Chain A
Amino acid sequence: MERVMAENLTAERVTFDLAKIALRDVNTYLHRQLADGDQRHFDLLNPDGAHNIAVGLDQPVTVEIHGHAGYYAAGMNKKASVIVHGSVGTGVAENMMSGKVHVKGFASNGAGATAHGGLLVIDGDAGLRCGISLKGGDIVVGGSVGSFSAFMAQAGRMVVCGDAGDALGDSLYEAVIYLRGEPKSLGADARFEPMTDADYATVAELLRAAGLDHDPKAFKRIASARSLYHWNADANQEY
């Protein structure tokens, strides 16, 4: 921890240079030294694609990562706002509970996996399984998403401004996908449904939150047909 003790730690805006300070010390600082409700602003320089940057935050601080990040950037985020000025590896904002994570570049696989809350914005494309097992979080992707996105997604909303790969929304539960482009194919139990006024309002709200300017009218709704909810209706629950 001593190594973290830069002279400016009490300032409103604090800079950590990851070329000089171990990531572990920075993460520990962000977990332990922040006061309840701390709203300071942190800049992390030279991330150099390191894994697990700014994981486990639980105060409403802002963290800006100036460069590319590796796996699990801002993983399990709670309350904090994390901005990545670069691209991220697998599992960005995985299991996020609340707060906001904004990736200015592209994201690899499993972006926003199992997120329970919060908003994940990816300006570029996202890889395979974006929003897998989503549990209530919102995801807005400016570009396209890879195959098996929203696989088994349980709750939450996903807005994709580009296209989607194969098996979009496979085995969906109650999460809803809004897609502007075309999916290569829909997954088992996923189906297009008519857009309602509430859907248009949702898309408009999420696009606004993500700072994107598309016409909500251009989006299609994909949700679960709920035919996989029960093991086999013919069996009358006689398992």
Chain B
Amino acid sequence: MDMKPVHIKRRSTEESASFDRRIIDYIQNAAAHGLYEIRGLGAKRHVPHFDDLLFLAGSMSRYPLEGYREKCTTKTLLGTRYAKKPIELDIPITIAGMSFGALSANVKEALGRAASEMGTSTTTGDGGMTQEERGSSRTLVYQCLPSRYGFDPDDLRKADAIEVVIGQGAKPGGGGMLLGQKVNPRVARMRTLPEGVDQRSACRHPDWTGPDDLAIKIQELREMTDWEKPIYVKVGATRVFNDVKLAVHSGADVVVVDGMQGGTAATQTCFIEHVGIPTLAAVRQAVDALEDLDMKGTVQLIVSGGIRTGADVAKALAMGADAVAIGQGVLFALGCNSETWVRDGQHHSALEAYDALGTAPGFCHHCHTGKCPVGVTTQDAELEQRLQPEVGARRVRNYLKTLNMELTTIARACGKQNVHHLEREDLVALTVEAAAMSGIPLAGTNWVPGR
């Protein structure tokens, strides 16, 4: 028998850490188009988050409460500093500002219905207030943004609270963006823009510069509404300690801090992934600022940016937030990144639509294209029919209900009759990074790096 030696060809497959396939693809895409990537949703990179914290529940040193029998209240008051009519919510979980334009009218209506049923608030976005939204939301927060698209004093008077938006976690320092595909006739009319333009909002407010001006602007909004409505100031998380102090100085009733995991309808990827700080670090700095000014309890804190679960809500509250706001979470509840959409109880496949966008369920971030396969982030007359308000409202209500049940489950286990009694003491950190950012000791130690 002829015994030939076997030669196995060696294939070199060592991937570079600096120039891995993802980076090579990025470079080659840039080389092909000469244009940065724009996409929707939030940061995809891994950052220290609420997952890196754990609760210490009751045991011997503290008593837990009975899960189903003993009361645990979730009532939440916002805007008690100056407003004659503070906001009273049944749960500390609110719906974050998202524009009509980014979202369809059906979605806005669904969010309003769900929030009203759950006793919480929704928030308008860049582009003004729609009738669908006002009609369906019991408590509606009206945003005052740099662009002032569709900003109308009559809507301001109809609102229950006003949110002055300085920045957004996904893109602190950047203005909004709505690409031409989503600027349909109604959106164009509401924003006073030509149909189909790639709309770029201003990143600074047109009529004030800096915190001293903002103090006067806030006063104007109060004078406009006879000091009735709470005024929120929303900042994207960057220099949170100073920014929260300045927001308080400017006269805010409520400060909203949005971490880098917060979503967007469309922004440059480099912005989403490389600007701003994680929500975990932001909450800590915001609470530090309020405590430093002795304003904890006087000025309320709403935290947003990557809040997904009831455990996330509980951790944010324990760290010192008064409430959370959720954007992407409710979009996923509505069906974002789902394989199907529903009409008349029948599921229909959305796979072809994902395929047309060059993506698949679980990965889609193509909100910016307006071609949302499940009809959530679209202005297309046909696509938006894929999400009916009743279906959406039920899903969002169920999601919020679940979060609230999880929140009270944890609070009871920690022995709290009120979710707002959760405290830092109830938490430990899982990683050194999380301990350093949150100021919460590493589990099993009393060590906080840097202290």
Contact = CB atoms under 8 A, between A and B. Distances in A.
Interface string A148-175: 0001101100000000000000000110
A71 B206 contact: no
Given A152-B202, A154-B192, A133 B33 contact: no
A24 B227 contact: yes
B84 to A, nearest CB: 11
A231 B35 contact: yes
A32 B225 CA distance: 10
Interface string A33-69: 0000000000000000001100110100000000000
Interface string A211-239: 00000000000000000011110110111
B208 A91 contact: yes
Interface string B207-229: 11000010011011001111100
A239 to B, nearest CB: 5
Contact of A71 (B38, B191, B216): B216
A135 B179 contact: no
B355 interface: no
A87 to B, nearest CB: 16
Nearest to A136: B192
Interface in B13-69: 33-35, 37-38
B403 to A, nearest CB: 33
B418 interface: no
A94 B205 CA distance: 12
Given A230-B197, A231-B198, A239-B38, A75 B220 contact: yes
Which among A28, A95, A229 has the greatest number of chain B C-beta atoms within 10 A?
Answer: A95
Range of interface residues on B (Cβ < 8 Å): 35 or more
A114 B219 CA distance: 18
Contacts of A90: 207-208, 213, 216
Contacts of B208: 71, 90-91, 110
A23 B216 CA distance: 14
A107 to B, nearest CB: 12
A186 interface: no
Interface in A79-130: 90-91, 94-95, 97, 109-110, 113-114, 116, 129
Interface string B179-194: 1110000000001111
A76 interface: yes
A202 B294 CA distance: 57
Contacts of B157: 56
B34 A51 contact: no
Interface string B366-380: 001100000000000
Interface string A16-35: 00000001100110011000
B206 A110 contact: yes
B220 A133 contact: no
A116 B37 CA distance: 33
Interface string B141-185: 000000110011110110000000000000000000001110000
Contacts of B34: 232, 234-235
Nearest to B37: A239
A28 B33 CA distance: 56
Nearest to A175: B192
A70 interface: yes
A180 interface: no
A235 B152 contact: no
A78 B153 contact: yes
Interface in B124-156: 147-148, 151-154, 156
B153 A235 contact: no
A151 B200 CA distance: 13
A172 to B, nearest CB: 12
A31 B90 CA distance: 31
Contacts of B216: 51-52, 70-72, 90
B151 A155 contact: no
Most buried by B among A32, A51, A56, A232: A56
Given A173-B193, A235-B35, A239-B179, A116 B227 contact: no
A154 B151 CA distance: 14
A125 B148 CA distance: 25
B198 A56 contact: no
Given A133-B202, A230-B198, A56 B223 contact: yes
B181 A237 contact: yes
A190 interface: no
B217 A72 contact: yes
B197 A239 contact: no
B179 A231 contact: yes
A132 interface: yes
B223 A52 contact: yes
Contact of A56 (B147, B153, B192, B202): B153
Contacts of A154: 191-193
14 contacts: A32-B226, A52-B216, A56-B225, A72-B217, A90-B213, A113-B207, A135-B148, A152-B202, A154-B193, A230-B197, A231-B180, A232-B34, A235-B33, A235-B34
Interface of B: 33-35, 37-38, 147-148, 151-154, 156-157, 179-181, 191-194, 197-198, 202, 206-208, 213, 216-217, 219-220, 223-227, 368-369
- Considering the complex of A and B, which 5 residue pairs feature the smallest CB-CB distances, nearest first? A91-B207, A56-B224, A76-B153, A114-B148, A113-B206
